[in-house]
């Protein structure tokens, strides 16, 4: 049984490592204002992401996996999406490290 999936392909002419690098190098900012973080993420999605996540969920990830398939916690694309969500919610939380190097070279 596979517990982790590392998607390495291209969708909408983008790869996950490219999106990760772009997010942390050009969009990631440790700011306290939640509204400002939302604007940062919206801009990232509007300019960089395109249809990448939509295509991934529609074509590759099984939203209702059967017993022997990978769930969201074990999927590198959805893990990155969760990190972006955490960034929106936690922002400048000193107890939660958003050090980009923790995520740029992580699995897949």
**Domain limits, the chain:** 13-104
**Over the Cα atoms of the chain, what is R_g?**
14
Q: Supply the mean pLDDT for the chain.
A: 78
Q: What are the pLDDT digits (tens) for 56-106?
A: 988 887 665 555 555 555 678 888 988 898 888 876 666 655 666 555 544
Helix (H, G, I), strand (E, B) or coil at 96: coil
Evaluate if residue 49 carries a pLDDT over 70.
Answer: yes
C-alpha 91/C-alpha 84 separation (Å) is 10
- Candidates 45, 70, 48, 50; CA nearest to 60 is 70
Q: What are the pLDDT digits (tens) for 3-36?
A: 666 788 899 999 999 999 999 899 988 787 888 9
Q: How confident is the model over 37-56, as a mean pLDDT? A: 94
């Amino acid at each position: 049984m596979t517990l982790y999936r590392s998607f390495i392909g291209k969708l909408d002419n983008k790869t996950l490592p490219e999106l990760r690098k772009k997010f942390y190098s050009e969009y990631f900012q440790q700011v306290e204002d939640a509204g400002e973080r939302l604007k940062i993420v919206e801009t990232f999605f509007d300019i960089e992401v395109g249809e990448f996540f939509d295509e991934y969920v529609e074509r590759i990830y099984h939203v209702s996996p059967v017993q022997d398939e990978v769930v969201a916690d074990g999927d590198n694309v959805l893990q990155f999406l969760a990190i972006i969500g955490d960034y929106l919610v936690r922002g400048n939380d000193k107890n939660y490290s958003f050090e980009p190097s923790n995520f740029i070279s992580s699995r897949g």
